[in-house]
Amino acid sequence: MDPKQIVLLAFQVSIAATVFGFGLAATRDELMFLWRRPQLFIRSLIAVLIVMPAFAILLVRVFHFRPVVEVALLALAISPMPPLLPRRMHKGGGEDAYGISLLLWLSLVALVAVPLARLILSAWLGPEVLSSGKIAKVLLLMVVLPLVAGAFLRSRWPAIADRIDRPIKLGAMVLLAMAVVVLLAVAWRPMWNAVGDGTIFAVVLFVVVGLAVGHFLGGPSRDTSVVLALATACRHPVVALTIASSSAPGSQFGGTILLYVLIASLVATPYLMYQHRCETPPPKPKVA
C-alpha cells in the first residue's frame, strides 16, 4: 500500500468513525427529524439537488472555465453534504437534530439522485466510465451505515454508547488531523496549479450563492437556516472526486477539489461567526 492509499484510508476511517460518533449521540427522533417535516425536507432537496446544480450549469455556460474546473464544479453541485459538517452546524447555532437527519436523508436520496444527475449532465461529464456502484459504496460505508449503527447501539445499549462516545470521537479527530497534515504536504502543488484561470472566483461564487440559497430556503428560523446554508454550500469532496474522475479519467481533479474544500471553509467562517453573534444576545449594561 503506497502513502497515497494510506492517507486516503486514514481519511475514510476517521470520517466513518466521526459519523459513528454522531450516531452514538443521536436518537431515533433526531434521525426522523426531517421525515416529520415534509415542507422543510422538500425545501432542503430543492436547495441542494436542484438549485445548485442549475446554478453550476449557468456558471460554466456564462464564464467558460477550464474543462477541469467545469467538471469539478458540476460534480460538486450534485454531491451531498460532507459527513463532518454537523459539527460546524452546531457551532453556528444550527439545530443538531436537523443536521444529523439531513446528513442521513441526503445521503439516502443521493444514492438515486447522483447517478440520475450524472446522466442528465452527460453533455459535460462524458460517457459513463464508472458504474454508479462506487458512489453508492462511498455513501453507504462513510455515512449511512456508521450513522445507523451508532444510533442502533445508542437505542439498545445506551451505557456502552456513553462509554465509547468520547474515545471514538477523540480518535477520529486525531486521525483526521494527521491525515490532513500529510495530505496538505503532498497535495500543495496540485492545489497551487489549480489556482488561476478563474478557479478561485468560480469556487467563491459557488459557495456564496450556496450559503444564500440555503439560508433563504432553510428559514425563517435561524436554527434551520444555518444548517441548510452550510449543507447547500459545502459538498462531499470524496463523492465529487469520484464523479469527476470517473467522468474524465485522464484529468487531474484533486487540486481543484482540495482548493474548493479550503475556500469553502474560509468563506463559511464569517457567515458562521455572524450567525453565532446573532444567536448570542449582547450583555446587559450594568446599572450604576
Q: With beta carbons less than 8 A apart as the criterion, state whether 100 and 30 touch.
A: yes
Q: For residue range 116-169, what is the model confidence (pLDDT) as tens digits?
A: 777 766 655 555 444 556 667 777 777 788 888 888 888 888 888 888 888 887
Sequence-separated (6 or more) residues with CB below 8 Å from residue 70: 60, 124
Closest CA to 18 of 167, 161, 172, 149: 172
pLDDT at residue 191 tops 70: no
pLDDT at residue 288 tops 50: no
Angle between helices 222-233 and 199-218 (to 10 degrees): 150
Residue 39's Cβ-count burial label (10 Å; 0-12, 13-18, 19+) is exposed
Cell of 226: 444555518
pLDDT of amino acid 153? 87
pTM reported for the whole predicted model: 0.79
Q: For residue range 49-107, what is the model confidence (pLDDT) as tens digits?
A: 889 988 988 888 888 777 778 888 888 888 877 776 766 676 666 678 888 888 888 88
